Amino acid sequence: MFFKIAVHLVVIHVAKSAAQNDFEACNSCCTAGVPGIPGNHGNPGVSGPQGMNGIQGMKGEQGMKGEHGIKGDNGRNGLDGIPGKLGSTGPQGLIGLPGANGVKGEKGEQASQKKSAFSAVYTSNPGPHTASPMKYDTIITDVGNHYNKETGKFVCTIPGVYVFQVTSMKSSGSGQIVTRIMKNGNTQTSAWASEVGYNSASTMVVLDLVSGDQVWTEPIGPNHNTYYSDNNRYCSFSGFLLYEA
C-alpha cells in the first residue's frame, strides 16, 4: 500500500513538470490564452493506516523521603465563643452531713420588762382579826408601789400573770385559823391550821389580773382568826408579776 502511494506521487510530479515545460515553450512563441475554468476538487485521499501503539515506559523508582520541616510557632488563642444556653436543672443532691457548731454568740441585751413585786409582814401580834383585809404593819419589798399598807390590798396596774403566797401562824391556844387569798371580794384559795399549840399554814395561787384588780388576805370568820406573830415575822403576804400579758 505504501509503495502504491509513492508511485502515484511520482507520476503526478512528472506530469506536472512536463506540462510546465510545454507551457514555458508555448509562452515563448505564443500569446497567452484565456485562463481555463478551475477544475473540481479532487476526492479526499484515503485515510492512512493507524499508527502502532507506543510501548508503555517503565515505572520510575520512588524518590527519597524529604526531611521534616522546622516546627512553626503556636497560633494565637481564638476568641471565646458565645455562651451556651442554660441547661435544665439537675436532680436534687443528697442532704449533706451537719456542719460543725458555730462560735457562741455574744450575750444579747435583756428586753425591758415591767416589774411588780412586794412582801409585807406582821412584826407584832395581830391577835384575833375580823373578817376583813389584813393590814400588815411592815413592808419588806414593794417594787412598783403596788401594795397599799393602809388598805392591805395589792392593786394591779400592769396586766399580767401574778403569783401570790400567804403564811399565817395561830396562837398557842386551841383556836383555829383559816386565811384566804381574795380577788375582788372572791375567795381564790385558803390555808387552815387547827392543831393545839403554835402551828402555821400557807397557800399559794397564780392569778391572771387586769388593771384595777385587787388582791388581799383575810380570815374566814371570827371562829378562825387566832393569829400570832412577833419580831420573827410569822405572818406574811407576798406577790410578784410572773410575766406581762
| Domain hosting residue 174, numbered range | 125-234
Nearest to 161 by CA among 245, 59, 90: 245
pLDDT < 50 regions, the chain: 2-15, 18-19, 22-23, 25-30
115 domain-assigned: no
pTM of this structure: 0.55
What pLDDT does 46 receive?
Answer: 82
**Counting every residue, how long is the chain?**
245
* Cell 517503565 found at: 58
Q: Do 171 and 198 contact (CB within 8 A), yes or no? A: yes
Query: Is 222 within the bounds of a domain?
Result: yes
**Does residue 99 belong to any structural domain of this protein?**
no
Contact yes or no for 115/143 (Cβ under 8 A): yes
- Rounded Cα distance between 200 and 245, Å, is 34
Q: What is the pLDDT of residue 54?
A: 67
> Is residue 71, in this structure, part of any structural domain at all?
no
Give a yes or no: residue 21 inside a domain: no
Residue 213 lies in a domain: yes
Give me the pLDDT at residue 7, please.
Answer: 43
Q: How many domains does the chain have?
A: 1
In a domain, 107, yes or no: no
- Helix intervals (H) in the chain: 2-29
Asked, for residue 227, whether it belongs to a domain, the answer is yes
Q: Quick: pLDDT tens for 180-234.
A: 999 999 999 999 998 788 999 999 999 999 999 999 999 998 888 889 999 999 9
Grid coordinates 465563643 are at which residue?
A: 81
pLDDT of res. 194: 87
Domain of 132, CATH number, reads 2.60.120.40
